[in-house]
Amino acid sequence: MNGLETLRTAISAILSRKLRSGLTMLGILIGVAAVMLTVGLGQGAQQTVTAEINSLGSNLLVVTPGSTTSANGIRGGFGSATTLTLADADLLANTSNCPDVAAVAPIMSSSQSVTSSTSNWTTTVVGTTPGWLPVRARTVTSGRYFSTQEAASGAPVAVIGSTTASQLFSGSPIGQSVTINGTVFTVIGELNTAGSSIAGDQDDTILIPISTFAQRIASSSQAASVSSIYLEAAGQSTLSAAYQEAQQALDTAHGTTSASADFSIASQASLVQTATSTTRTLTVLLGGIAAISLLVGGIGVMNIMLVSVTERIREIGLRKALGAAPAVILRQFLTEASLLGLIGGALGVAVGIAGARLLPGLIGQPVSVSLLATLGALVVSLLIGIIAGVYPASRAARLAPIDALRME
CB 86 within 8 A of CB 210: yes
Mean pLDDT of 303-317: 72
32-36, 43-47, 66-70, 307-311: the lowest-pLDDT one: 66-70
How far, CA to CA in Å, does 273 sit from each of 44, 47, 164? 15, 12, 32
Asked whether the predicted pLDDT for residue 385 surpasses 50, the reply is yes
> Tell me, what's the pLDDT at 208?
95
> Tell me, what's the pLDDT at 2?
64
Predicted model pTM: 0.59
Tens-digit pLDDT profile for residues 220-278: 766 678 888 999 888 878 888 888 899 999 999 888 887 888 888 887 666 656 666 77
Asked whether the predicted pLDDT for residue 79 surpasses 60, the reply is no
Residue 114's beta-bridge partner residues? 121, 180
Which of 103-107, 133-137, 278-282: highest mean pLDDT? 103-107
293 vs 197, which has greater pLDDT? Answer: 293
Residue 264's beta-bridge partner residues? 64
Asked whether the predicted pLDDT for residue 298 surpasses 80, the reply is no
> Tell me, what's the pLDDT at 175?
93
Given pLDDT bands bounded at 50, 70 and 90, which one contains residue 209? very high
Return the ∠ at Cα 183 (arms to 182 and 187), rounded to 5°: 130
Given pLDDT bands bounded at 50, 70 and 90, which one contains residue 9? confident
Type of residue numbered 153: S
Asked whether the predicted pLDDT for residue 3 surpasses 80, the reply is no
Tens-digit pLDDT profile for residues 332-380: 778 888 888 888 888 988 888 888 888 888 877 788 877 777 787 778 7
3-state helix/strand/coil string of the chain: CCHHHHHHHHHHHHHCCHHHHHHHHHHHHHHHHHHHHHHHHHHHHHHHHHHHHHHCCCCEEEEEECCCECCCCCECCCCCCCCCCHHHHHHHHCCCCCCCEEEEEEEEEEEEEEECCCCEEEEEEEEECCCHHHHCCCCEEEECCCCHHHHHHCCCEEEECHHHHHHHCCCCCCCCEEEECCEEEEEEEEECCCCEECCEECCCEEEEEHHHHHHHCCCCCCCCCCCEEEEEECCHHHHHHHHHHHHHHHHHHHCCCCCCCCEEEEEHHHHHHHHHHHHHHHHHHHHHHHHHHHHHHHHHHHHHHHHHHHHCHHHHHHHHHCCCCHHHHHHHHHHHHHHHHHHHHHHHHHHHHHHHHHHHHHHCCCCCCCHHHHHHHHHHHHHHHHHHHHHHHHHHHHCCHHHHHHCC
Tell how strand 205-209 and strand 120-128 pair up.
parallel
Every domain of the chain and the residues it spans: 3-52+274-406, 102-232
CA distance from start to end of the chain:
26
Q: How far apart are CA 262 and CA 257, in angstroms?
A: 9
Tens-digit pLDDT profile for residues 125-141: 999 999 898 888 888 99
> Tell me, what's the pLDDT at 144?
94
Torsion angle in degrees (nearest 10) through CA of 25, 30, 31, 35 = 140
- For the chain, percent of residues with pLDDT exceeding 90: 22
